[in-house]
Structure 1
Amino acid sequence: MSLTVFPSIHIDRGKVVHLVEDQVVPETGETDPLAVALKFQAQGASWVHLVAVSERLHDTDLATVVRIVGSLRIGVQALFCSVTDDDTLRRALRTGCARLNLGSAALSDPDWCARAVAEHGDRLGVSALVRTTPQGPRVAADGGAGDVGDLWPILDRLAGAGCARCLVTDIGREGMLTGPNLSLFRDVCARTAMPVLAAGGIRGLDDLRAVAALGPRGVTGAVVGRALYTGALSLSEALAL
């Protein structure tokens, strides 16, 4: 099974930012998300992963995603942390992104989330920010301060609704370049048949090889962010791998 690499672009009010342990950090280089997306496309990416980090659905971020979708020849997977109901979902889908992932705010309403993924099929997936605790993996709220619930029943409900994919991010490793939580990804794959996208901590080619080795277990993609911006990882080398 091949691994799809998703270069990630986090945006806030139309500017590129980063999430480091779920805290927003401004980008010090290129801040235009479209320019970054075009660079990733030129380097050979087949997808880009856009994350609108604000807890409110801003028109600026919606317009930014529309602009990127209209300018690229490759797939756009988007995540709006503010999508929590039918209205915000419709507005997010109208951006034209090929895939949309629901975030932790949506997961706090499991019944609505299950209905949404059942209605929209392959176009809709979910994103789980996971915090490892002595009691097991928990889904963290967007912003990292709150707790949505135990990861396993949430995944069971989504799988039962026919969810197309689950993006799993270890919140303690996001943006930290400390290596991916491979045991978490293995555990998720053992508990669900949903395709899994792995994120958090990926810092180089060795980490990507380790994530790719989980392909037979159900990991189909890796979302890579901070390593691409710091130069720790070359996207062209990652795609070649």
Structure 2
Amino acid sequence: MRLSTVCLVLAGLALLAGCGKDMEKRYDAPGAAYDLSHWKLTLPDDQASEVRPAQLRGYASPYFHLGDGGDMVFVAPASGGTTENSRYPRSELREVMDPGDDNRNWSGEGSHQLRARCQVLQAPSTEKIIVGQIHGFDARPLVKLQWEKGKVKALIKRHPSGSNADLSHVFRAQVGKQPFSYRLEVQDGVLTVEVNGEQFTHDFYGADPEWRDVQFFFKAGAYVQASGGNADEVGKVVFSELSVRHDKAQ
């Protein structure tokens, strides 16, 4: 082989190697910019893996990372793995009051609040993604906040067990794929859901006293309401704000 041919081949191999490095995208960990010390993460991989609080500070992947603008990015393909009691995949944070004990949660007494600002950038063909929840421990979710075809809907369970009936409220704002703010709050057995300043209130203790025996935790992220499909069946949600506050009952 002539010297000029050898040099050409080596130059080509070096170019391919450089392209390969560019294609291997590096992700920054949201835990370096946000306090995630009281959250764990569920992933939409084949095993629906969990990332515990101790590892979450340095964790980043295609499913959960910092965006270019510093937002937390949650990505959940509809073809991803699911948790035991769900048909749908998620890239979603779950609040843990005690990072070492998932069994410690909070009651409906006192004041408990999650505030968030998020934006749905991509949705599966169902056009449904849950972006926030108050979930019962070993019980149903008290409320799921669902982005649906550009509107936001609160889906509230009337009962922690027995009848699976929902109380639903659709907020007036047509948020589309623009940023919106929401608040999920429980105060002494009364639920308040707020989206872009509009509030909806429900006395869940009054609706069913069985809720008094339930403990709760917050969730936030991209929980797509779709399964299977092609590579375009993906939910992508970014959060620029996520904060939690707990005030004990007097």
TM over 0.5: no
Specify which structure has the bigger relative contact order, considering alpha-carbon pairs within 8 angstroms and separated by 6 or more residues.
2
Larger strand percent: 2
Larger helix percent: 1
TM-score, normalization: structure 1?
A: 0.25
TM-score, normalization: structure 2?
A: 0.25
Structure possessing the higher radius of gyration over alpha carbons: 2
